[in-house]
A = this chain, B = another copy of it.
Amino acid sequence: MKPTIRDVAKMAGVSISTVSRVMNTPESVIESKRVRVQQAIEQLQYQPNSFARGLIYRKSFTLGLLIPDIENMYYAGIIRGMQDACIKLGYSLMICNTDRDKNRLLAYIDAFHEKQVDGIVFASDVIFPEYYEKLMSCKIPFVLISSHSDEYEVPSVEIDDEKAAYDAVKFLIELGHRDIGMIGFNHENSISGPPRYQGFLRALHEAGLDHNAEKIRCAAHRFEHAYDAAHELFTDYPELTAVFCVADEFAMGVISYLKDRNILVPGQVSVVGFDNLRMANMFIPKLTTISQPMYEMGYRAAEKLHELVTTGSTQVLREKLEHKLIVRESSRQR
C-alpha cells in the first residue's frame, strides 16, 4: 500500500501539519524536526499526491493573475517569472486581462473565487476599496505587483519608482543636458506616475535645473498617445535636448515623432525609456532605459503569495527590487 502523510508523521514523531509544512515551507520548521520528516519521507518513499496536499493547505494548486492590459509588453516578463515560480512550487497559473475595467476586474475576482484559486496576484492598478473588500469577503489571499497600498496591509513587490526616475534624469544631466522634458503617466489612478515625477523633480533640483519642472506632458499608456504628447511638449519647449519617458513604449513614440520632424536621436535629442521591454533592444535606435526586473518581480510575487497561502502571512510586507540603468543608443553626451 502506498504510504500516506499519516505514516510519515508517525515515523517522524511529528504532527501531520508539520509534515505538510516541511513540504510547503520547509524554512518554517526547525532543523531537527525537518530532518526527521525528510528522512521518513525518504525511507517510506512517500510521494504526496497533489489532491491530499491540497486538502491540507491549498485548495486547488492554482494561482490567478489579474493584469490590466494584455497588449502591454511589460506584463509578458512578469508572467514568465510568475509562471516559472508556479511550476517550481506546484501551481498552475491562470491569467485574466481586465482592460482596466472595474466591473470586469470584480467579475474576474468572482470567477477566480468560484474556481477556488489559492491566491491572486494583482498587477499595477491602484487597490480601490471595492477591490479590497471584494477580495477580503472572498477570503482569497492576494499580493500586489508593480503596485502597493499605503492604506491596507497587503504584501507587494515593486521597484523604487522615485529613485529609478531620479537615476534616469540624473544620467541625462551628467551627459550635459540642461533642457530636459518628461513624458509621464496621467496621475489620477496611477501608482507609479506621481513618484516618477517626484524623481524627475529631485534630480532637476539637485542640479539647479528647476526651470524644467513644468516641462512634462502626460500620456495614457500607448505609443500613439506618447507621439501626440511629444508633439505638445516640443511645440511648447523646442529648446529640449533630452526627454525622460516613464515607459519604453513612450520613448518609441517620442523617437518616432522626432524622426517625422527630422530631428535626430540621439544626435540632437537624447531619449531615455523605462521598463527595458524586449522591444527596447530591438528598436532602432536601441533604447537607453531603466530596467525593471520584470521576471524577478513575477517570480517573487508568486513566492510571496505561496508564503501567504501556506503560512497566513509574509515575512516582508512591502518588498522593493533593484532597478538598473541600461545605456544603449538613444542617449548621447550633450
Q: In whole angstroms, what is the CA distance A76 to B279 when docked?
A: 15
A60 with B115: CB separation less than 8 A: yes
Say if the beta carbon of A95 comes within 8 Å of chain B: yes
Q: With A94-B96, A279-B279, A284-B284 in contact, is A114–B60 under 8 Å at CB?
A: yes
Whether A70 lies near B79 (C-beta < 8 A) is: yes
Q: Is A259 part of the binding interface, using a Cβ–Cβ cutoff of 8 Å?
A: yes
**Interface size of A in residues (CB-CB distance below 8 Å):** 37
Contact A71/B80 with A95-B97, A115-B115, A282-B252 known, Cβ cut-off 8 Å = yes
In contact, B104 and A79 (Cβ under 8 angstroms): no
Docked pose: A1 CA to B226 CA in angstroms: 54
Give a binary string over A287-313; 1 marks a CB under 8 Å from any B CB, 0 the rest.
000000000000000000000000000
Chain B residue numbers with a CB within 8 Å of A70 are 76, 79-80, 83, 95
B253 A282 Cβ-Cβ under 8 A: yes
Task: Tell me the interface secondary structure of chain A in the complex.
Answer: helix
**CB of A87 within 8 Å of the partner chain:** yes
CB < 8 Å: which of B73, B111, B249 contacts A92? B111
Q: Quick one: which of B95, B256, B259 contacts A96, CB cutoff 8 A? A: B95
Residues of B within 8 A of A249 (CB): 282
Near B by CB (< 8 A), chain A positions 96-128 give 96-97, 99, 104, 107-108, 111, 114-115
Closest to A62 in B: B111
Tell whether, in the assembled complex, residue A92 and residue B76 are in contact, meaning their CB atoms are under 8 Å apart: no
- Do A255 and B284 form a contact, CB below 8 Å, given A73-B73, A95-B94, A95-B95? yes
Inside 8 A of A87's CB, which chain B residues have their CB? 104
With A115-B62, A253-B282 as contacts: A94 and B97 at CB distance below 8 Å: no
Chain B residues lying within 8 Å of A96, measured Cβ to Cβ, are 92-95
**In the complex the two chains form, what is the Cα distance from A97 to B96 in whole Å?**
12
Among A79, A108, A114, the most chain B Cβ lie within 10 Å of the Cβ of A114
Closest B residue, CB atoms, query A79: B70
Contacts of A279 in B (CB 8 A): 279
A199 within 8 A of B: no
List the interface of chain A (C-beta within 8 A of B): 60-62, 70-71, 73, 76-77, 79-80, 83, 87, 92-97, 99, 104, 107-108, 111, 114-115, 223, 249, 252-253, 255-256, 259, 278-279, 282-284
List 12 interface pairs A-B (beta carbons < 8 Å), by A numbering. Answer: A70-B76, A71-B77, A92-B96, A92-B108, A92-B111, A94-B95, A94-B111, A94-B115, A223-B278, A249-B282, A252-B282, A259-B284
Q: Identify the 9 closest CB pairs spanning chains A and B, nearest first.
A: A92-B111, A94-B94, A95-B95, A71-B76, A115-B115, A70-B79, A223-B282, A70-B76, A284-B284
